[in-house]
Amino acid sequence: MKAHWKRIAQFAVAALVVMLCGSIGMGIGVANWLRKDLPSPANLQTIAPPVKTLVYDRNDKLVHEFFKENRSLVPLREIPKPLVQAILAIEDRRFYTHWGIDPIRLVRALITDIIARRPEQGGSTITQQLARNLFLTHEKTFTRKLKEMVLAIRIEQTYTKDEILQMYFNQIYFGEGAYGVDAAAKVFFGKRVQELQLSECALLAGLPRNPRDYSPRRDPDRALRRRNLVLSQMLATRFLTRAQYEAASEEPLGVTKTRYNAQEAPYFMEMVRQYIDERYGSNQLYEGGLRIDTTIDIDLQHAAEEALESRLTALEQRNLYKKTRASLAKAGGGSARDRNQTEYLQGAVVSLEPGTGQILALIGGRDFNDSNFNRAVQAARQPGSAFKPFIYTAAIDNGFSPTDIILDTPISFRAGNGEDWSPQNYDKKFRGPVTLRNALAHSVNIPAAKLLQKLGTSVVTSYAKRMGIKSRLTPDLSLALGTSEVNLLELTSSYSVFADQGVRVNPYYIVRVADKNGKVLEQSRTSAEEVLSPETALTMTSMMKSVFETGTAAPARALGFTAPAAGKTGTTDDYTDAWFVGFVPGTVTGVWVGFDRKQKIGPRMTGAAAALPIWVDVMIAATSGHPAQDFPVPSGVESRLICTETGLLANPGCPSTEIELFREGSEPTGYCNVHTGTAKPAPEARDFHETDTEAPPEERLRL
């Protein structure tokens, strides 16, 4: 009998050995079959998820992100310990003891799947989840599950536990476009992952299992229950004390009402996007994790955006337009017919730092989503009288002085087609003898036209070009009225020559580009060239200061801007374009207002009425916190007390006098011969026009 049972036992053992060997052989065979379609260990060594590109302003503030997957990589040491514990408690509490697969959890999941006759229960460890996210699909099949298990084992053989955790935290999806814990912290709480509190960590830890259903914005009640489940699991695994658990469970969700969205300054950032895409390619831009340091001052940008929108809204209300931005949006018709034009009033703003050429703020329109046409750079419009400083610069640089007198009287110029052209002043009045300073300050057209004829259009256009105007300038006398189209950026940049004592610095907007490892790929270099003498630049600055003191920009003082400043208004004859470009020693800002389709802005909508208030708001923000500074006076500039009526040296009888600046050698030597108590001859004036002489061919007006 004993021999009988002995033979049975031997047979059973042999059968078990055969079954075990068969199972092992089958397992090896299945594993080898699965390995054919799985990535090699070499691929596991080079896991590199897409990383978003970050854009920073000049003060190191994050202002924009470019990405296909919203992800920022963070090392494990920077991830809060409560977040690590929360993930382990809810997803894989035996993570540090298993070898990629948790047998206990796997058996439980298999039993559930067998009962359901399909894959139902998760049972995946953190390593399995990482394998699935990196290399596999999310379909619920046994084959995918087997592949996931094989991959998990191979990952565990290749990486340490902490390395696996770090990859997991940077790879896993949390919902609402957030890949990785840092992106999730920003999307749901508007903060970096290092700043998360315990209850916030628990909420994030509960999301990866089902980001859509547990979304705190989609279903706050369900998200709260899920968060508290995570906290209870942390208590069960002794990561929390009872007091910590109870306190965290009472916390509100704390999710921000709107998604974190670092998408600032859209027109500026579109320039950045186009440049990086062209130079480095779209893969680097959206997946390469670049760091781009830019010139923008985001605080000034915000102030400029607020100034533009509030002032244009006020203009719409004042002029009672039938189509305003607000009314079109309310009616559902806010989108442009094409991406270049809108039906409502538009505007653009550019602010630069004169000494460096850095673009501090740039607005290309009121709504980038409605129209991505960049009116600061792409729109070519007539600058009106904002072109006149180039004429006066050429005059000052060629021997004229601010006190020279020119006759503001009716005039006709013979055009190339034989017809006459008679320019008119804005107010239809004639002032008689006026100094160059007053003619510029009050934007009088006829003296500008006479100066242009005397100097020659080729001379004036050469000055405009060397100062930064790149657009084509039509060489005829209508240049005096600013009829050749330019864009706001080039006009604003050219004015920075005055503020920088005659030095032109090309504007730029990207300071540095570095790869995800911190290696600098590109570093900007300032390109500077002296195009005017410091004496000419300061003389012109002094003349344009009169625009604020007594001229067309005098309303700026009533609007609250009191710092020393210089600038020029610009208005086209039909009120389709309104400009103001002005500067202080550290900032130059240009503003344009108009419609895309070149229709009339409104009655008397001059540069002073439509553009200057926006400029004032921007420059108040730009100079806030900085003491007011006047423009430095270089050597080679002389000051004299002159009679404002005659432009000569003042004597005690002159009723109106002022200190005037002159390039050395151009100052007057004679005293006023009008206010002497004797006979009062008319002051000498320069009148360059000869009615019986045709202008040279290059001066002929092309009508």
- At 169-182, the pLDDT tens digits run 998 999 988 999 99
Query: Residue 201 pLDDT more than 70?
Result: yes
Least confident residue range of 49-53, 131-135, 444-448: 131-135
pLDDT at 74: 93
Query: Coil, strand, or helix at residue 8?
Result: helix
462 is an active site residue: no
Q: Which residues pair with 659 in a beta bridge?
A: 641
Select which of 65, 91, 176, 343 is catalytic.
91
Tokens representing residue 143 in the block: 């084959």
Select which of 72, 199, 371, 385 is catalytic.
385
pLDDT at 428: 86
pLDDT at 109: 67
DSSP-assigned letters across all residues of 162-211: HHHHHHHHHH-EEETTEESHHHHHHHHHSS-GGG--HHHHHHHHTSTT-T
**How many angstroms separate the Cα of 678 from the Cα of each of 486, 674, 681?**
51, 8, 9
pLDDT at 177: 87
41, 151 in Cβ contact below 8 A? no
Distant-in-sequence, close-in-space partners of 520: CB < 8 Å, separation ≥ 6: 512, 513, 514
| C-alpha to C-alpha distance for 482 and 478, rounded to whole angstroms | 7
Distant-in-sequence, close-in-space partners of 99: CB < 8 Å, separation ≥ 6: 153, 156
pLDDT at 18: 43
Which residue, 54, 117, 409, 559, is CA-closest to 263? 54
Query: Residue 60 pLDDT more than 80?
Result: yes
Global pTM value: 0.80
Rounded to 10 degrees, the C-alpha dihedral 284/288/293/298 comes to: 100
Q: Per-residue confidence at 674, pLDDT binned at 50, 70, 90? A: confident
| C-alpha to C-alpha distance for 342 and 369, rounded to whole angstroms | 11
Which residue, 130, 120, 118, 119, is CA-closest to 92? 130
In the block, tokens 């039909």 appear at 574
Q: Which residues pair with 663 in a beta bridge?
A: 637
When pLDDT is averaged across residues 220-230 and rounded to a whole number, the result is 97
CA atoms in the 13 A half-sphere facing the CB of 579: 32
At the topology level, CATH places domain 75-249 in Penicillin binding protein transpeptidase fold (1.10.3810)
Query: Residue 555 pLDDT more than 70?
Result: yes
Q: Indicate the domain borders of the chain.
A: 75-249, 297-342
pLDDT higher for 311 or 49? 311
pLDDT at 325: 62
176 is an active site residue: no
